[in-house]
Chains A and B, each alone.
Chain A
């Protein structure tokens, strides 16, 4: 176990270095609310790829895939998680290109929903999207607080407060520009750290041959590629992750930040290929933990850290502390900026905050509020798994009509709502976590099907897709996609150059 002082010291040092880097880089580059929230057409392939990896790969990769490997179906579940993490990024290639083509001065998916479908669907999607991202953020805070408590004995409230405060400082000041820059550097540190740390861990544990033999002796199903629970988990996690990512404003911001469509295609594809081995490695630690007999049903969620604290030397644990801090920083800044971006963009439309300075202040104020909420929840050490899965279920039921509406003129708001609600009804009927709540509704307890995650996620998505297809076939008036370009505009006045706060010229993020 790493000492508390050393663990906290390393955490603060890492946070400080990247906060200073984010502040320095964004100084003079955030000239308008557009720079703060969109960084439109400013990042090349390298930066876009790096920021996508950093944003989507949070500390959760050290928890959930390992838990899946230890408790939900061994290597098969881990493979499902890895593939499931890559698919949404690949889907963003055609979908991202389409939204850039339809609304070149847009900012978010919710903006599209408002104009394409109407206010009811918009409010529905906004709530699901903000709920999912806030849960993501709170889960990251909870994750790092729990990890440092386990590895170095740092009290959870200290970790959550310190991480939240540092990330808030550079995100509120530098917005998306700071987030993308720090993401890039963080990815360049995370990838080798992950590879070297894992290689050292494998060697310390006696090599892959020993690990394999131990796991086979403990529980052969851990390594059985045909293990049914593992296959089922691998399948439903694809739908859970897909829907959630489609409603992740952090990824939509990066769709707009890419400097061209070819950058978008290449970056999302490379990021998709990169996250597969990252999730695989983290998940295999769960298999190793279960194989070594370190896990119990109560400790499956920290399987990765059990291996680190109980079977590895302090030097590797030291590397893991730094890795966790970087993983959390890189996704927490993305979520913070994404949530404040969504709310700020919508606020500009709903209330009379039309000058750039007020919008910028509002955006920064909201960022601080969201950070405070996430820190408070993170310090409580709640189990966020239930909330995470609930947010995933909502997203799985909602995302199909949204994507369909990008390509079809005939889907109406009524059709999209009907599809989402139908998907939700089916999903909730099967969803184990909401079973107790739903069963309290008079008359329902006796007719509910056997609860299981696979039919819940698969059913939510499939039914939503089927109703979407029927509603689209029945058809509406035929939406005029051309209206998106006139109704959704940049916050910058036409032809106006924004005036940077620090007097320097507003510029591109990089490359």
Chain B
């Protein structure tokens, strides 16, 4: 059970981290242009 939750956390956490990186880089690009 714990292993399954951990595995799920790694997968969905990684997906979320990639999206956060996308948002951050996008923000960096947009904020400097302003």
The dominant DSSP class at the B interface is helix
Hey, what's the 0/1 contact readout for A257-289 against B, CB within 8 Å counting as 1?
000000000000010011011101100100000
Of all chain B residues, which has the CB nearest A287?
B7
Tell whether A202 pairs with B29 under 8 Å between CB atoms, given A192-B19, A274-B18, A274-B21.
no
Question: Which chain A positions have C-beta within 8 A of B4?
Answer: 208-209, 212-213
> Which of chain A's residues have a CB closer than 8 A to the CB of B29?
44, 46-47, 50, 184, 188, 511
Smallest Cβ-Cβ distance to A191: which chain B residue: B22
Scoring A46, A47, A276, A280 by chain B CB atoms within 10 A of each residue's CB, the highest score goes to A46
B22→A188 contact, CB < 8 A: yes
Is the pair A208, B12 in contact by a Cβ cutoff of 8 Å? yes
Q: How far is the CA of A44 from the CA of B29 in the complex (A)?
A: 8
Which of A97-105, A118-126, A193-201, A374-382 is the contact stretch?
A193-201
- Interface status of A400 (Cβ within 8 A of chain B): no
Q: Are B32 and A46 in contact (CB under 8 A)?
A: yes
Query: Once the chains bind, are B28 and A277 in contact (CB under 8 Å)?
Result: no
Residue A292 at the chain B interface, CB threshold 8 Å: no
Contacts A191-B21, A194-B18; is A44 near B28 (CB within 8 Å)? yes
Hey, which chain B residues are within 8 Å of A46, CB to CB?
25-30, 32
Would you list which residues of chain A between 230 and 265 have a CB under 8 Å from chain B? none
Q: Mark B1-34, 1 if CB is under 8 A from A, else 0.
A: 0011001101111111111011011111110110
A212 to B4, CA, bound (A): 6
Nearest Cβ in chain B — how far from A365, in angstroms?
Answer: 33
How distant is the Cα of A409 from the Cα of B32 in the complex, in angstroms?
Answer: 39
> Which residue of A is nearest B12, CB measured?
A208
- The bracket for how many chain A residues form the interface is 35 or more
Complex Cα spacing A170 to B4, Å: 46
Question: Once the chains bind, are A277 and B13 in contact (CB under 8 Å)?
Answer: yes
Do residues A191 and B17 form an inter-chain contact, with CB atoms below 8 A?
no
Q: Is the CB of B22 within 8 A of A192?
A: yes
> Are B7 and A511 touching (Cβ within 8 A)?
no
Assess whether B28 is in contact with A212, with CB atoms less than 8 Å apart. no
Interface pairs (16), CB distance under 8 Å: A46-B29, A46-B30, A50-B25, A53-B25, A188-B25, A191-B25, A194-B18, A195-B18, A198-B11, A202-B11, A207-B8, A208-B11, A274-B18, A281-B18, A284-B11, A284-B14
- B interface, CB within 8 angstroms of A: 3-4, 7-8, 10-19, 21-22, 24-30, 32-33
Residues of A whose CB lies within 8 Å of any CB of B are 44-47, 49-50, 53, 75, 184, 187-188, 191-192, 194-195, 198-199, 202, 207-209, 211-213, 216, 223, 270, 273-274, 276-278, 280-281, 284, 511
